[in-house]
Amino acid sequence: MNPKHPVPERLLSAAGDLFARHGFDAASVRQITSRAKANLGAITYHFGSKEALFHAVLDRVGARMSDRFVAIAAERGTPLERIGRIVTMVLTEDNLPAPTLILRELANDRPLPPPLVLHMRRNFGAMIALIRDGQRDGTIRDGDPPLLAMSVMAQPFLMRIASRIPRDIAGVDGSDPDTRRRLVKHVVTTITRSLATTPGDRP
Amino acid sequence: MNPKHPVPERLLSAAGDLFARHGFDAASVRQITSRAKANLGAITYHFGSKEALFHAVLDRVGARMSDRFVAIAAERGTPLERIGRIVTMVLTEDNLPAPTLILRELANDRPLPPPLVLHMRRNFGAMIALIRDGQRDGTIRDGDPPLLAMSVMAQPFLMRIASRIPRDIAGVDGSDPDTRRRLVKHVVTTITRSLATTPGDRP
DNA sequence: GCCGTATTCATACAAACGTATGAACCCAAA
DNA sequence: TTTGGGTTCATACGTTTGTATGAATACGGC
């Protein structure tokens, strides 16, 4: 944790990582402040409480992801191409704790924290708009856009956190760069196939 | 919690539900024993520790799911049909905490508990075998079977825990039976489309 | 009826948790 | 150089955590 950065920033970084890796309850205030090279009281002082820090973290990492999201959605290219680029981004971007944090929150039965709802609405909005565009110009098949958007996001989100599946379950090295490239390509192909009106394998 | 059942059984049930809903750390021993109508010391007495109970839970719910899994895989029908039935089962089966528990464990960076690894290997083994069958008879497209298996499982697993997405994000009522039926149909269609050699939309 | 093992129960314990407190420290403005 | 607000620091507090303890109770074999 670079001590040149201001303390609140360091706390957000450390907390983002630890909340993603261990969950809200298992990541203790002492662990977070120690990794951020800050005093035990720093969280209370700068954010008010552990939960307030958590919400600030969700806001930050959620914003980071949805910014990348809508930026790609606004690029050039067919809707399917841009969807593929978003999927690739979710799978390859470094320091992207958002998917893990979001999945953790979804697994809980308590309501989603407000900042998270906001950013997820932004993500889904962008994805749904892309799908509607594709349906309008005939390159994306019919179907309920929100449902299609969920189907599209499910794979990269899950694959992102399931890097241990290849290793522990299938006995493959998930950290090998070549394996990762194949995985990204596979996911993009699979999603494209499930969305496209004219699958690429047609002669 | 039916008091006619034996105590260890009641503890497993209560713990399965609470671990899935709140996570390992947030589900306290007092909460679990109280819901199981058992004494505070019951977990220590019958299982040895909270973590041992957790592993027993994973073993039980993992076995329940992988039993259903391989049973469907052994039924009649084309590989694609059976995959569709598995997906439907994961999405609709009541009292199936396994997907939530598995996703929670995947989000952690600690190694997967051994009993879970065992059952997931069984699930993936069955799914991979189905995919290989389909590839052999030409009904499922080419592609790395383990990767295809992960793609197939990603959607129902995530949709299962993401029932709040329709409500909180998209503003739809996810508990409405008709909405749920549409969701299941959508997921099966999407997965079939991404796997099949000859998409159904071809004239 | 009595014994002996198995289970339940109330209570105790040390450790870890999130937060509160007040003194110490820093550093720009006066 | 002194002042004062912002920040850091060590420490303490009350709770809650998982587990240990030993007495009380339940219950089948004799």
pLDDT at B174 over 90: no
- The predicted model gives B162-188 an average pLDDT of 78
Task: State the DSSP string of A127-138.
Answer: HHHHHHHHHHTT
Q: A91's torsion region: left (phi>0), alpha (psi -120 to 50) or beta? A: alpha
Q: Tens of pLDDT along B79-88?
A: 999 999 999 9
Return mean pLDDT, chain B: 89
What dihedral angle (degrees, nearest 10) is formed by the CA atoms of B182, B188, B191, B195? -140
Q: Is residue B175 part of a domain?
A: yes
B190 CB-to-strand D distance under 7 Å: no
Q: Which residues of B touch A100 (CB under 8 A)?
A: 107
Q: Indicate whether A77 and A112 sit together in one domain.
A: yes
pLDDT tens, A122-136? 999 999 999 999 999
Res A110: pLDDT: 85
CATH of the domain at B144: 1.10.357.10
* Chain A residues closer than 8 Å to B151 by CB: 155, 186-187, 190
Contact yes or no for B191 and A194 at CB 8 A: yes
In a domain, A62, yes or no: yes
CB-based contacts of A109, cutoff 8 Å, min separation 6: B21, B22
Residues of A in contact with B20 (CB under 8 A): 107
CATH of the domain at B6: 1.10.10.60
Give the pLDDT mean for A107-113. Answer: 88
CA-CA distances (angstroms) from residue A189 to A75, A176, A185, B53?
A: 20, 20, 6, 41
Same-domain check for residues A64 and A41: no
pLDDT-derived band at A7 (thresholds 50, 70, 90) equals confident
Same domain, B68 and B137: yes
* Distance spanning both ends of chain B, measured CA to CA: 54
d(CA B28, CA B34): 10
d(CA A157, CA A127): 14
pLDDT at A165: 72
Instruction: Report residue A24 as tokens.
Output: 């809200």
Q: Are residues B114 and B164 in the same domain?
A: yes
pLDDT of residue B7: 79
Decide if pLDDT at B202 tops 70.
Answer: no
Measured CA A44 to C1' D13 distance, in angstroms: 16
Q: Are B59 and B97 in contact (CB under 8 A)?
A: no
For chain A, the domain total comes to 2
Using CB atoms, pick whichever of B108, B158, B168 lies closest to residue A22.
B108
Mean pLDDT calculated for residue range B134-153: 92
Bridge partners (DSSP) listed for residue A196 = A140
On whether both B67 and B40 belong to a single domain, the answer is no
Which of the nucleotides in strand D have any atom less than 7 Å away from a protein CB atom?
7-12, 16-22
Closest-approach residue (CA) in chain B for A153: B155
User: pTM of the entire structure?
Assistant: 0.89
A154 touches strand D (CB under 7 A): no
Same domain, B83 and B178: yes
Asked if residue A76 is part of any domain, the answer here is yes
Rounded Cα gap, residues B182 and B133, in angstroms: 28
| Average pLDDT over every residue of A106-131 | 92
Residues A102 and A20 in one domain: no
Same domain, A44 and A66: no
Query: What is the phi/psi pair of residue B140, to 5°?
Result: -115, 140
Asked if residue A40 and residue A62 are part of one domain, the reply reads: no
The reported pLDDT for the residue numbered B42 is: 92
**Å between CA of B46 and C1' of D20:** 14
Is-contact A127 A153, C-beta < 8 A? yes
pLDDT at B45: 94
Q: Is residue A193 part of a domain?
A: yes
Look at residue A53 and tell me if it is in a domain. no
The one-character DSSP state at B198 is: S
pLDDT of B167: 67
Question: Quick check: B193 and A194 in contact, CB under 8 A?
Answer: yes
Strand C nearby residues, CB < 7 A: A 25, 27-31, 40-41, 43-44, 49-51; B 7, 38-42, 45-46
Copy the structure tokens of residue B169: 């994000």
Q: Is the CB of B39 under 7 A from strand D?
A: no
Compare B178 and B135 and report the one with higher pLDDT.
Answer: B135
Higher-scoring residue by pLDDT: A67, A198 = A67
Residue A85 has pLDDT above 90, yes or no: yes
**Mutation site, B150, B183, B198, B202, interface A, largest A CB count within 10 A:** B150
Apex B65 CA angle, B62 and B66, nearest 5: 85
State whether B80 and B26 are in the same domain. Answer: no
How does DSSP assign B165-185, residue by residue? IIIIII---TT-HHHHHHHHH
Predicted pLDDT at A167: 67
Please report the pLDDT score of residue B197 as a whole number: 85
CA B4 to chain centre: 28
Task: Measure CB to CB from residue B169 to each of A22, A23, A117 and give the nearest one.
Answer: A117
Residues B107 and B195 in one domain: yes
Query: Does the structure show a pLDDT above 80 at B78?
Result: yes
Let me know: does A180 contact B171? Beta carbons within 8 Å.
no
Quick one: pLDDT at residue A78?
A: 94
Are B154 and A154 within 8 A, CB to CB?
yes
Sorted by sequence, the CB contacts under 8 Å of residue B201 that are 6+ apart come out as: A141, A197, B193
Residue B123 sits in which domain range? Answer: 58-201
- A202: pLDDT strictly greater than 60: no
Specify the nucleotide whose C1' lies closest to residue A42 (CA): D8
pLDDT of A203 higher than 50:
no
Question: From its phi and psi, is residue A23 left (phi > 0), alpha (psi between -120 and 50) or beta?
Answer: left
Cβ within 8 Å, pair B23-A194: no
**B53 belongs to a structural domain:** no
pLDDT > 70 in chain B, percent: 91
Choose the closest CB to B107 out of A25, A161, A186. Answer: A161
Q: Which of A107, A168, A191 sits opposite B103 (nearest CB)?
A: A107
- Cβ within 8 Å, pair B112-A193: no
Residue at A131 is within a domain: yes
CB pairs under 8 A between A and B: 146
Same-domain check for residues A18 and A74 = no
Residue B146: list chain A partners with CB under 8 A: 166, 170, 172
CA distance A159 to B174: 24
Distance A30 CA to D1 C1' (A): 39
- What would the pLDDT profile of A146-192 be if each residue is shown by its tens digit? 999 999 999 999 998 887 776 667 666 667 788 888 889 999 999 99
